[in-house]
Structure 1
Amino acid sequence: MATEANGAEESGLVFHPMDQFIVSPLGGDGPVQWFTFTNAALWTSLSVAAVFLLLVVGTSKRSVIPGRMQSVAELAYGFIYKMVEDICGKEGVKYFPYVMTLFMFIVFSNFLGLIPTAFTPTSHFAVTIPLALSVFLGVTILGFVKNGASFLGMFWVSSAPLALRPALAIIELISYFVRPVSHSVRLAGSMMAGHAVIKVFAGFAALTLVSPVAILGITAMYGLEVLVSFIQAYVFTILTCVYLKDALHPHH
């Protein structure tokens, strides 16, 4: 067994696609403490800085004929604003800043993670679970504040036969509490899986025989990951809007 492992190592077949997701201290290999500045903290900070540069610095000198950064910022603004308005109605527009912040942070975290040797914050549940929980708790509190006890009416399917309503209420309740799980797992799982596959192809690219095929695979997967990075940010945001609509209009 040891001989086989050594042979595989010499042939370049030994690679670890999950190593890219390890949280490690910058400039050292020591243990990670609560105060340690890690690769995850660095790339999360860069994502926040990128959002600030685009939306604040890029639009600080607004003009009738927009520059590149202003055009991108206005496009993102209009895209998310229309999403919130279409799904939640005029009443939901007041929550647009929160939804916009979520989308921009996730999309920048996803795209910056595509840079070689970068770290993808959204591939970790430590990032996606707090994001999903903030949405879940936020819309739940908002639902009770706006509607009081009548917010619970969203679990009671009044259009169903009376005999089925208690069972459907339990199903609806379970479905509601599963929301933060599916919301967070979908984003982290998608980002982790795509990056791991790219790393696998990269490991095979070192072998002369399959190198052209591996390089083609990397190119195809990288293109797909660019698309997935945007789609997952969009899906997370649109689900946030749907949950927000349920809190504002529980009986619809």
Structure 2
Amino acid sequence: MAIESDAVEQELELAIHPMDQFVVKPLFGGGDIGMFTITNATLWLGITVLCAIALMVLGTRGRAIVPSRSQSIAEVIYVFIYKMVEDITGKDGLKYFPYIFSLFIFILVANVVGLLPASFTTTSHIAVTATLAMIVFVAVTVLGFVKNGTAFLSLFWVSAAPLALRPILALIEVISYFVRPVSHSIRLAGNMMAGHAVIKVFAGFAVVTFISPAAIGAIVAIYALETLVVCIQAYVFTILTCVYLKDALHPSH
């Protein structure tokens, strides 16, 4: 019985639970999570905002001719997103650049912060990404009708297609339009959750195999890949926002 008990304890110790890192927990005490409960997700959302402010505000307050590292990073990101918005949406879309830039910075910083040991990846939760996606969806839809009136509906009418196919294509376009916030949010949350779960699994293997070089090498490789993924996912979310904005500004294009 003692041998069986020791075997069970060892099995429990070696168990890998990669999804535990995504559990939302209260910071103070236990019990149920209410609307105003401060959780680990709340804490890391706040840290994300502070890090973004530190990068973009504190890092560029000097505005030196020879920029510091933080100023150089901020300027590169600023020019990159500005050029993206201009290329995709045209000059008309530049007035919405501050929001798109803020969206990119928030997602990028949240993704990067989530790579820190013992941190919480807020963008791995659909509640966060769905909120961001719904704000974009509602904003571009309202903007489309405000700027174009009923002409915005031409976005769903494929005039280049044969007349008999146009109603079918219009139905497909309407469905795909309302699916946008779903795919917009799931893509980001799914990639963040999958990547971090894989890192946790390989980390567990490293412990099980007594810190083997192969397991450590795998963790380093996966971590490097995930670093690239967090940047790409922020870029993808932002570029899709620009595409949706272009449709709202120029539905006939």
Q: TM-score, normalized by length of structure 1? A: 0.95
Where do residues 131-150 of structure 1 align in structure 2 (5 Å cutoff)? 131-150=132-151
Q: Distance in 1 between matches of 2:148 and 2:44?
A: 40
Of residues 214-223 and 40-49 in structure 1, the stretch that sits farther from structure 2 once superposed is 214-223
What's the CA shift string for 1:194-241, capped at 9, x where partnerless? 000111111111123683322222111100100000000000000000
What's the CA shift string for 1:46-85, capped at 9, x where partnerless? 1111111111111122121111111111111101000000
Q: Distance in 2 between matches of 1:171 and 1:6?
A: 60
**Equivalent position of 1:173 in the other structure:** 174
**Equivalent position of 2:42 in the other structure:** 41
Q: Distance in 1 between matches of 2:48 and 2:249?
A: 31
Q: Distance in 1 between matches of 2:17 and 2:30?
A: 18
Give identity over the alignment, percent.
64
**Equivalent position of 1:10 in the other structure:** 10
Where do residues 1-252 of structure 1 align in structure 2 (5 Å cutoff)? 7=7, 9-11=9-11, 12-208=13-209, 211-252=212-253
Gapped regions of structure 1 (runs ≥ 5): none
Q: By how many angstroms is 1:4 displaced? A: 8.6
Secondary structure of the residue aligned to 1:109 is helix
Question: Is the 8 Å Cα contact of residues 83 and 238 (structure 1) preserved in structure 2?
Answer: yes
Q: In the comparison of the two structures, how many residue pairs are matched?
A: 250
Of residues 143-152 and 55-64 in structure 1, the stretch that sits farther from structure 2 once superposed is 55-64
What's the CA shift string for 1:133-181, capped at 9, x where partnerless? 0000000000000000000001000000000000000000000000000
Q: Distance in 2 between matches of 1:238 and 1:5?
A: 55
Gapped regions of structure 2 (runs ≥ 5): none
Q: Distance in 2 between matches of 1:191 and 1:162?
A: 43
Structure 2 counterpart of 1:81, one-letter code:
Y
Question: Is the 8 Å Cα contact of residues 136 and 179 (structure 1) preserved in structure 2?
Answer: yes
Q: By how many angstroms is 1:6 displaced? A: 7.1
Q: Distance in 2 between matches of 1:118 and 1:94?
A: 35
Structure 2 counterpart of 1:94, one-letter code:
K
Q: In the superposition, relative to structure 1, how do residues 52 and 74 fare at CA in structure 2: closer, same or farther (>3 Å)?
A: same
**Aligned Cα root-mean-square deviation (Å):** 1.7
Q: Distance in 2 between matches of 1:94 and 1:4?
A: 68
Runs of 4+ in structure 1 over 6 Å off? 3-6
Structure 1 counterpart of 2:82, one-letter code:
Y
Q: By how many angstroms is 1:111 displaced? A: 0.3
Question: Is the 8 Å Cα contact of residues 28 and 38 (structure 2) preserved in structure 1?
Answer: no
